[in-house]
Structure 1
């Protein structure tokens, strides 16, 4: 039965989930410039707010999902999470609203270039030092999220925007409001839950670091090899990656990650192979 329902659902979504055209006005106050993404639950637009002419990002719940209360709650999860945060590298939530039976929320439009596009379309390369410098900034952002009891849950390269070498995090649709702040964890509250949830973000950081490191990797063989054999890295960078990916001893918090990164930058061998470190 499910095998029959799925194609019908896809066909229904194809006809119903049509993005709003450029130039159209949403709720008498937002002019659509372009579609910037279509996800499982929402459609994202770059818009101009008519009264200020300021660029904003608008997300719309897919029309095919607007009658399902569970889907609506999942869609608004990002808005709820953003309302709890206040950081210059994370979009600020502006408002939630409905229009013509559809559901929307607006937030800051993050200027810059998507890391996925930089790596795969523009073929930008990051050497070991540049990769670690960028990762360090991302670890700082993740540390802020965790201090607020938030787990991002989707730290992939499409969700990182670079602006003058500074990263910005977007797409909090899969974020979890764990309610477990770092201060609470230090007091012994929900220790196992905290470690499990936070380590999902640490694993994603390790995976993201591999994407950066492979950007400058010259493929020498068609044979697929593990990164430990393909990449020539400083031993402490390898140690960092292994811990992030859960191969070695797992990290318990971002402070531990930052300490290991400081050790890499301070090591003379790292400096001697052409990396400037901090």
Structure 2
């Protein structure tokens, strides 16, 4: 049985927990001091440390699911994606965890609360392109994020960072453990593609839907789901007409109609035309 963690605890004889940074559907992220690096004079010794939440930590395969998230993200080397450090187990507490870079900035969902009318185009476009760059890279590496939402995007002076691959899957590597969708319902309804909520498998086009909903909310100031399911979304006031067709296609409720890729959405928002017909 795992022992609950608290601020001030020393993990694996090396990491001292300072405070909780965030609590998600599956895990808890702490800010921690790496005491080993401090001993060697490392000036930046703070890391982010993730463990599973109490409701998941008692599952027999919980540590395997945590390792799956770490394994998915550790090969992703992109300025717009959080960087993983290492996976370890505190044997005394029987608690698995992994460490990653400590990101500085504000989560996008908190920033959006300060912008109830949405972001203006000249602020929105660079942020949108950076987010799409990161997700396009992730897809290019054969990884699906699975939970693209404002709470999993960090906004800092250095730019946008995408994190939390807890619901992700690999298209390139087989044999990694996955989340049992029948046992655990962890999708965020406001940003999850309709087919995921109906029990379909995660796909690249589901990620497209999620990021499109995030971009729409950033521009419009309200969620795309705040409308009737049969009603087409209105064009955000800040969004030029020349790129609206691409974003609207990415938000198609029917996955068979959602044929646009993340890279094609990026091209459209950068000013290049996107052909909606074959």
Secondary structure at the aligned position of 1:69 is classed as coil
Which of 231, 248, 252 aligns to 1:246? It is: 252
Pair 101,262 (structure 1): closer, same or farther in 2 beyond 3 Å: closer
8 Å contact from structure 1 (residues 17, 63) kept in 2: no
Q: Note if contact 1:134-1:165 (Cα within 8 Å) is conserved in structure 2.
A: no
Change (3 A) 1:227 1:130: farther
Look up the match of 1:220.
none
1:80 aligned onto 2:71: yes
1:57 and 1:261 map into 2 onto residues whose CA distance is 33
Question: 1:171/1:94 Cα in 2 relative to 1: closer, same or farther (>3 Å)?
Answer: same
1:29 aligns with 2:14: yes
Number of paired residues? 230
The TM-score with structure 1 as length reference comes to: 0.72
Residue pairs, 1:20-169, within 5 angstroms: 20-21=6-7, 23-53=8-38, 54-63=45-54, 65-99=56-90, 100-120=93-113, 125-164=118-157, 166-169=159-162
Helix, strand or coil at the partner of 2:98: strand
Report the alpha carbon displacement of residue 44 of structure 1 after superposing the two structures with TM: 1.1
Distance in 1 of aligned mates of 2:76 and 2:137? 9
Distance in structure 2 (CA, Å) of the matches to 1:19 and 1:124: 40
Structure 1: unaligned runs, 5 residues or longer: 1-15, 181-195, 218-222, 266-278
Contact 1:126 1:216 in 2 (8 A): no
Distance 2:270 2:152 in 1: 25
- 1:203-260 deviation per Cα after TM superposition (whole angstroms, max 9, x unaligned): 011100122112399xxxxx96867447434322321221111269534433322332
- CA 1:17–1:117: 2 relative to 1, 3 Å: farther
- Alpha carbons 2:118, 2:217 under 8 Å: kept: no
Find the structure with the greater CA-based Rg: 1
Higher helix share: 1
Partner of 2:177: none
Q: What is the rounded CA distance, in whole Å, between the counterparts of 1:88 and 1:127 in structure 2? A: 24
CA distance in 2, matches of 1:167, 1:124: 20
1:200 aligns with 2:186: no
Distance (Å, rounded) in 2 between the aligned partners of 1:247 and 1:122? 26
Q: Root-mean-square deviation (CA), in Å?
A: 3.1
Partner Cα distance (1:106, 1:28) in 2: 14
